[in-house]
């Protein structure tokens, strides 16, 4: 009886041995440290190339957007100036037919005021008159130096030939001035 049990136990072990062999996956080949480093280097190189390609695409896209922005940057300002241009066209037409110069002057003053209002709405500011103020290269461009009429006007603005303008607190045209020396 014990022999039967032993035989039966041996048969069960023999049957379960192939099943155990099937359940165990073949072990991955063990890589040498050199091969592991090569695989890691290849992986890092692939990541680098992908990141470089993404960055290159980003640079191209932003350059294209910048070019488009530059091309259309003045569109808003020019669009707002069209109504002023229309007013000038009407004023020019009325000048040819006008007999009353006061009406023409008043019309031109209105168009001038509209032009200044439109430009200030776009962020353009006229610089204050610089006459009598100390010459400042951040806001002034000296056209010439003349002898100062008095000692207290040395290094100061004596005359302003052209007004200076700022766009959103950045100088876009320096005031052209005469400085006393």
Helix boundaries (H) for the chain: 2-23, 33-72, 75-97, 101-121
pLDDT tens-digit profile of 18-54? Answer: 554 455 555 667 788 899 999 999 999 999 999 999 9
Distance (Å, whole) CA 131 – CA 176: 11
Question: Nearest-5° angle of CA 158, CA 160, CA 162?
Answer: 165
Residue 25 DSSP SS3: coil
Q: Which pair of structure tokens corresponds to residue 142?
A: 């000296």
The secondary structure of residue 87, as a DSSP letter, is H
Confidence (pLDDT) at 24: 56
Check whether 122 has a pLDDT greater than 60.
yes
Distance (Å, whole) CA 105 – CA 91: 10
**Percent share of the chain, pLDDT over 70:** 84
pLDDT tens-digit profile of 51-99? Answer: 999 999 999 999 999 988 888 877 878 888 888 889 888 888 888 887 8
Radius of gyration, CA atoms only, the chain: 42
Q: Show me where the domains of the chain are located.
A: 75-122, 126-181
Superfamily of 126-181 according to CATH? Head domain of nucleotide exchange factor GrpE (2.30.22.10)
Distance (Å, whole) CA 139 – CA 130: 9
pTM: 0.56
């Amino acid at each position: 009886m014990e022999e039967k049990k032993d035989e039966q136990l041996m048969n069960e072990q023999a049957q379960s041995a192939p099943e155990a062999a099937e359940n165990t996956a073949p072990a991955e080949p063990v890589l040498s440290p050199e091969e592991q480093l090569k695989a890691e280097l290849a992986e890092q190189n692939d990541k680098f190339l992908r990141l470089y390609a993404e960055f290159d695409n980003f640079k191209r896209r932003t350059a294209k957007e910048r070019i488009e922005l530059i091309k259309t940057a003045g569109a808003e300002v020019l669009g707002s100036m069209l109504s002023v241009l229309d007013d000038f066209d009407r004023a020019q037409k009325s000048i040819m037919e006008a007999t009353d110069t006061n009406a023409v002057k008043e019309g031109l003053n209105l168009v001038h005021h509209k032009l200044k209002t439109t430009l200030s709405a776009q962020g353009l500011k006229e610089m204050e008159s610089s006459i009598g103020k100390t010459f400042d290269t951040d806001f002034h461009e000296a056209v010439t130096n003349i002898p100062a009429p008095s000692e207290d006007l040395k290094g100061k603005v004596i005359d302003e030939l052209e007004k200076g303008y700022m766009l959103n607190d950045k100088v876009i045209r320096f005031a052209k001035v005469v400085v006393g020396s």
